[in-house]
Structure 1
């Protein structure tokens, strides 16, 4: 059976997402992607001419997933302060997932950042986008210095993401939420 382009692409991205996130981008070869996706190697290379192109598509997909999951939590809240704390609720929910392995961008950067300027740029852009989202939430909460508050919140968030991946526990997100509450209590507002 010949798959249409959209279906084949989806199957390859599904397989790449599972394998890259579980094992890392360097340890997974195109043959493993072929086997997991059920798409022939020839078709795989027609869709993604190189592994680098596939890694970029994987990270693009992870960016959309991240933004959607984060927005679902934040937008469920109406109180500006609770919207900030919802970030940490999201981190707890995400890091509670059975297959949680931390941030795909940090993982890919750790593996390829020194040799792939494109992966380094994508990771940097992802983290800056998160920082900007936190800055906007801080601004909406009336912070006198939303950039500084966002810097504090992103350090808590990134620490929770990494610590949860290493420890295998979602508890770091709970501790980060507690710390964020203390920071918010101590932060001047307009």
Structure 2
């Protein structure tokens, strides 16, 4: 088994804790303890907890965008591709290790003034909007990208509140009617 670098141990531990517990509920000492590292090691790689959050969100953004694009690539028509995105959300949320959208979870904890972290979250959300637009381009329906994006994020938020699958099913049904 390959041993992770100290930096990777820190990022993996912080990512798991930020996702499961939230940013504010996760302390530096907990990250240090669970990563089984020295405090100096953490600060050698990350000057602050926020720097660690930036790394987590940046990686999750890349990972999320790749997963969405890979799912879309399995289908031929724009209609199938859009439906695949909503089906992917429903499938992910059925996991026992699902705690909601990484980005929406964090943005709800941040003050409006935290432009650095909000910019990363906004970029990821803009990437989702752009993906919908690119899917709809061949059928000249790019103007629906914002509506589909609202269904996407609305389903994520409503699922978080309700703890049920119906928000994804409902968003998928509405999406199928508008495209």
TM interval, shorter chain, is over 0.9
Instruction: State how far apart, in whole Å, the 2-side matches of 1:31 and 1:180 are.
Output: 44
Partner of 1:68: 66
Partner of 1:46: 44
Partner of 2:178: 183
Is this contact kept in 1: 2:101–2:156, CA < 8 A? yes
1:115 positional shift: 3.6
- Are positions 1:161 and 2:159 aligned together? no
Give the SS at the match of 1:86: helix
Render the CA deviation track for 1:75-116: whole Å, top value 9, x for unaligned: 111222201111111111121121222222122111114242
1:129 positional shift: 1.1
Instruction: State how far apart, in whole Å, the 2-side matches of 1:60 and 1:117 are.
Output: 14
With structure 1 as the length reference, what TM-score do the two structures score? 0.87
Is this contact kept in 1: 2:159–2:165, CA < 8 A? yes
Structure 1 segments of 4+ aligned residues over 3 angstroms from their partners: none
Query: 109, 112, 122: which one pairs with 1:111?
Result: 109
Query: 128, 131, 134: which one pairs with 2:129?
Result: 131
- Which residues of structure 2 form unaligned runs of 5+? none
1:68-107 equivalence runs, <5 A: 68-107=66-105
1:152 positional shift: 0.9
Instruction: State how far apart, in whole Å, the 2-side matches of 1:92 and 1:59 are.
Output: 21
- Which residues of structure 1 form unaligned runs of 5+? 185-190
1:72 positional shift: 2.4
Equivalenced residue count is 177
- Are positions 1:30 and 2:7 aligned together? no
Give the SS at the match of 1:84: helix
1:24 positional shift: 0.8
